[in-house]
A and B are shown apart, each in its own frame.
Chain A
Amino acid sequence: MEKEKRDEPVIPQTILTLNDDFSLIKRFIDGDESVFKVLVNRHKEKVRNLIFVTLNNADMIDDISQEVFISVFKKLDRFRFESQFTTWLYRITINKCRDHLRKVKIRSILSPFSASEEELSYSSSNLHDETEIQEIVRKAVAQLPIKLRTPLILKDFEGLSYQEIAESIGVEVGTIKSRIFRAREALKKNLEPWKKELL
């Protein structure tokens, strides 16, 4: 009897609405798989954008997003309701991006003649429109080490708090604070050639 109690999901004492992530997950666990589509529609854009900014590779967005949600579908019945669903979702997404980068790195070692990482190729005199600036910033972010890139994106692009980022990545808040600072310093360095126009 006590075991059954322990296995029951611990739902925070908040009022659950029909569209709340937790209530959707609970319904999914209870056997209503149709709610999964609702859950996907609620978060798909966050996941797709996070993948795009992290990898700076539009070709991989669809594949990795699908992998993320398939993984969510398989593991959702083990969700423990101890953190936000988004935090859990971000953690899965970040792990999938890391897996992909690892594969790319191995592939680049095995095939030394494959194209190397894109260089920041715009000259400062080229920076005329918004699209070019966007491209420069996107590439500059993509050049950051993944350790620094992820917290910076989660903070500045996704708007998560240090606490949420720490939970998603699985490190201390102090580490996140330090990594975000280092990421900004590195980004400034990457954008140095366009200092006059950008900073």
Chain B
Amino acid sequence: MMKWYNQNIKEQLSAYLDDELPKHEKDILEDKIISSPVLQSDVEAGRKTKEYVSSLKRLPEDEYFAARLIEKIKSEKSSHKIFSFLKKPVIAFGIISISLMGVLKFYPNFFPSFLSKQKSNLVDFYTQNLKPFIYVADLNSEDIFNFAFNNNLPLNKEDRQMLQLDRDSNGNQFVEVKFAGNNANVFNLSAFVKSFKFNKEQKYTVDSILLSHSDEISSHILVNEKNTVAVSPEIWNSHNAIRSDLLAYVASVNKEVSDRIMPVAFAANNVSPVSRVAAQGSHEDDTYFVFCPDTIFTQKLHVNKEELKNEIKRFKKEMSNHSDELNKLKRFKIDVKVFPDEFTSSQKMKVLIDSNICRIQIPQEIAMESLPDFESINSALDVAFDQLRNFQFDIRVETNESGGASVSTDKKKRKNVQKFEFKVGDENFVMPNPDSLANFFRFFFQDSSKTFKFNDRMNQDMEVFKKEMEKFKLDMEKMKKELQKELKKEAKKKEPIEI
């Protein structure tokens, strides 16, 4: 009640300050104000608030406002006059329909040719000034290794944009441009080198094998300043060529490992020719998958591969000779011709666009057309690389102070594990005790290179447990025998009664 009264008085005070109270209400309120210091301070505060708002500075006068406005009204009026007849929907609809009928009657191919022209313009726009990938990125051996092994190639390292080659669950090849997550490639070049215990010289050889494919990769990926990325399906051949070269080298260095990872009937000498066949299989007129900001399409592009390779060589030479890199980049030119009427809209192409992925499933007729019987070699390469991936896991079994054992891959350590969980490739394994773990590795790697050490306390505990279990087993057997004896005695006592 009191609150309502106070609010009512304050509302009256606000109206009093605005001189909006009727005479008799004003007189009553003034009497109250005179007798109340609280109301007096309220009036004072209200007056100040009112004053602050009323004394807010005005804008300086805009002398030309009216002139600008009149001009705007005039321009609006003129456009309004021209199209005023279109304001009536019936008339507008009628005019549009008649014009459309006229166009279709005299030029039946108007819309198809119009659409075709628009498409052609779009293709021209996005395929202008395409340059080899090396123009924007200098691939290092790690990048090329990741491309071969993890199927991804960084397009823009700053934005974590990458090109991914892979197969879906049905085995169809696809190429996608995507943004990489924060997960680094698990099996990288250093892990590879570490797995095979390559020395310095061997590491250098691996690097040079990888870098020898750099130009080839560059020629299969074309880019321009409009964020267009054109990818030739032949990049799959390069991908396999790098893998086969790496496998051939591993086989030549370490026969034992090679025998273990290569599938049956896939000798090391079968591997090397893949690289040669892949290198030979390049055409001049290639169908490229073009990823651009507006759309994705396939387009035949004429690229003179020889000229391109020479340009890349020249470009690299200039880059190494001159410090002024930017000027050289500007001078770098390669002639890429677009086949104007051959954008391959007729080709069936599955496209998947997600928030951070643009994927094209490569049509069967394009995939691997340059390499006869490549599929069988390729699947064998996949098997070999999967085994290679498994091979690299460095699993350590360590014991800790409390007597438990831990299994770790890399540097991760687990304390007080009761069972041994680990991952090899895509498979998860759970081993109930150290013996089964050791047997597993002996079976899996066919050698005893992995040794497992447990501390004395652990061994003692295990021994005690084993003895207790044996004792328990003996006790149980003894009990069983006694029980059987008892049962026989009972059976003899209770002989059946003949009737």
Q: A: which residues have CB within 8 A of B?
A: 36-37, 40-41, 44-45, 48-49, 52-53, 61-62, 65-66, 69-70, 73, 133-134, 137-138, 141, 152-153, 155-157, 159, 161-162, 177-178, 180-181, 184-185, 187-188, 191, 198-199
In the assembled complex, the Cα of A133 lies from the Cα of B48 at a distance in Å of 13
- Nearest-Cβ distance from residue B204 to partner chain A, whole angstroms: 48
Contact indicator A191/B49 (Cβ below 8 Å): yes
Other than A61-B59, A180-B18, give 20 A-B pairs with Cβ distance below 8 A.
Answer: A36-B70, A37-B66, A44-B65, A44-B66, A48-B62, A53-B56, A62-B65, A65-B69, A70-B72, A70-B76, A134-B57, A138-B56, A152-B53, A156-B50, A177-B20, A178-B11, A184-B14, A184-B50, A187-B53, A188-B49
- Nearest-Cβ distance from residue A118 to partner chain B, whole angstroms: 16
Contact indicator A41/B66 (Cβ below 8 Å): yes
- Nearest-Cβ distance from residue A189 to partner chain B, whole angstroms: 11
In the assembled complex, the Cα of A191 lies from the Cα of B46 at a distance in Å of 12
Residues of B within 8 A of A (CB-CB), count: 28
Contact indicator A49/B69 (Cβ below 8 Å): no
List of 7 A-B pairs having minimum Cβ-Cβ separation, nearest first: A156-B53, A181-B14, A181-B11, A40-B66, A137-B52, A156-B54, A162-B20
A66 proximity list for chain B (CB < 8 A):
68-69, 72
A36 proximity list for chain B (CB < 8 A):
70
- Report if A162-B18 is in contact (Cβ < 8 Å); known contacts: A44-B65, A49-B58: yes
In the assembled complex, the Cα of A16 lies from the Cα of B200 at a distance in Å of 103
B57 proximity list for chain A (CB < 8 A):
134
Contact indicator B56/A157 (Cβ below 8 Å): yes
In the assembled complex, the Cα of A53 lies from the Cα of B53 at a distance in Å of 9
Residue-by-residue, is B34-76 near A (CB-CB < 8 Å gives 1, otherwise 0)? Answer: 0000000000011011101110111101100110111011001
20 contacts between A and B (CB under 8 A): A37-B70, A41-B66, A44-B66, A45-B59, A49-B59, A53-B56, A61-B59, A65-B69, A69-B69, A156-B50, A156-B53, A156-B54, A157-B54, A162-B15, A177-B20, A180-B14, A184-B46, A184-B49, A187-B49, A199-B49
In the assembled complex, the Cα of A197 lies from the Cα of B15 at a distance in Å of 25
Q: B10 is contacted by which of A73, A185, A191 (Cβ under 8 Å)?
A: A185
Contact indicator A159/B52 (Cβ below 8 Å): no
In the assembled complex, the Cα of A8 lies from the Cα of B134 at a distance in Å of 80
B68 proximity list for chain A (CB < 8 A):
62, 66
Contact indicator A45/B54 (Cβ below 8 Å): no
In the assembled complex, the Cα of A66 lies from the Cα of B68 at a distance in Å of 9
In the assembled complex, the Cα of A69 lies from the Cα of B15 at a distance in Å of 32
- Nearest-Cβ distance from residue A166 to partner chain B, whole angstroms: 11
In the assembled complex, the Cα of A185 lies from the Cα of B49 at a distance in Å of 9
- Nearest-Cβ distance from residue B479 to partner chain A, whole angstroms: 74
- Nearest-Cβ distance from residue A92 to partner chain B, whole angstroms: 14
B76 proximity list for chain A (CB < 8 A):
70
B49 proximity list for chain A (CB < 8 A):
184, 187-188, 191, 199
B72 proximity list for chain A (CB < 8 A):
66, 70
- Nearest-Cβ distance from residue B68 to partner chain A, whole angstroms: 7
Contact indicator A134/B56 (Cβ below 8 Å): yes
- Report if A199-B73 is in contact (Cβ < 8 Å); known contacts: A41-B66, A44-B65, A137-B53: no
- Nearest-Cβ distance from residue A79 to partner chain B, whole angstroms: 17
- Name the residue among B52, B54, B59 with the largest chain A CB count within 10 angstroms: B52
Residue-by-residue, is B1-41 near A (CB-CB < 8 Å gives 1, otherwise 0)? Answer: 00000000011001100101000000000000000000000
The residue in chain A whose Cβ has the minimal distance to the Cβ of B65 is A44
Residue-by-residue, is B275-298 near A (CB-CB < 8 Å gives 1, otherwise 0)? Answer: 000000000000000000000000
The residue in chain B whose Cβ has the minimal distance to the Cβ of A178 is B11
B18 proximity list for chain A (CB < 8 A):
155, 162, 180
Contact indicator B52/A73 (Cβ below 8 Å): no
Residue-by-residue, is B186-214 near A (CB-CB < 8 Å gives 1, otherwise 0)? Answer: 00000000000000000000000000000
In the assembled complex, the Cα of A134 lies from the Cα of B66 at a distance in Å of 28
In the assembled complex, the Cα of A129 lies from the Cα of B56 at a distance in Å of 14
In the assembled complex, the Cα of A24 lies from the Cα of B59 at a distance in Å of 26
In the assembled complex, the Cα of A141 lies from the Cα of B54 at a distance in Å of 12
In the assembled complex, the Cα of A70 lies from the Cα of B74 at a distance in Å of 10
B73 proximity list for chain A (CB < 8 A):
70, 73
- Name the residue among B46, B65, B70 with the largest chain A CB count within 10 angstroms: B65
Q: B53 is contacted by which of A41, A153, A178 (Cβ under 8 Å)?
A: A153
In the assembled complex, the Cα of A177 lies from the Cα of B22 at a distance in Å of 13
Contact indicator A159/B54 (Cβ below 8 Å): yes
In the assembled complex, the Cα of A71 lies from the Cα of B180 at a distance in Å of 52
Q: A188 is contacted by which of B20, B45, B58, B59 (Cβ under 8 Å)?
A: B45
Contact indicator B45/A70 (Cβ below 8 Å): no
In the assembled complex, the Cα of A199 lies from the Cα of B45 at a distance in Å of 6
B65 proximity list for chain A (CB < 8 A):
40, 44, 48, 62, 65
Contact indicator A161/B20 (Cβ below 8 Å): yes
B14 proximity list for chain A (CB < 8 A):
177, 180-181, 184
B70 proximity list for chain A (CB < 8 A):
36-37, 40
- Nearest-Cβ distance from residue A67 to partner chain B, whole angstroms: 10
B62 proximity list for chain A (CB < 8 A):
44-45, 48, 62
In the assembled complex, the Cα of A174 lies from the Cα of B396 at a distance in Å of 83
Q: B15 is contacted by which of A45, A133, A152, A181 (Cβ under 8 Å)?
A: A181
In the assembled complex, the Cα of A97 lies from the Cα of B388 at a distance in Å of 69
A45 proximity list for chain B (CB < 8 A):
58-59, 61-62
The residue in chain A whose Cβ has the minimal distance to the Cβ of B13 is A181
The residue in chain B whose Cβ has the minimal distance to the Cβ of A133 is B52
- Nearest-Cβ distance from residue A102 to partner chain B, whole angstroms: 23
In the assembled complex, the Cα of A198 lies from the Cα of B65 at a distance in Å of 35
Contact indicator B56/A177 (Cβ below 8 Å): no
In the assembled complex, the Cα of A157 lies from the Cα of B10 at a distance in Å of 21
- Report if A177-B53 is in contact (Cβ < 8 Å); known contacts: A41-B66, A44-B66, A48-B59: no
Residue-by-residue, is B64-106 near A (CB-CB < 8 Å gives 1, otherwise 0)? Answer: 0110111011001000000000000000000000000000000
B46 proximity list for chain A (CB < 8 A):
184
Q: A198 is contacted by which of B11, B20, B52 (Cβ under 8 Å)?
A: B52
- Nearest-Cβ distance from residue A31 to partner chain B, whole angstroms: 14
A185 proximity list for chain B (CB < 8 A):
10
- Nearest-Cβ distance from residue A160 to partner chain B, whole angstroms: 10
B50 proximity list for chain A (CB < 8 A):
156, 184
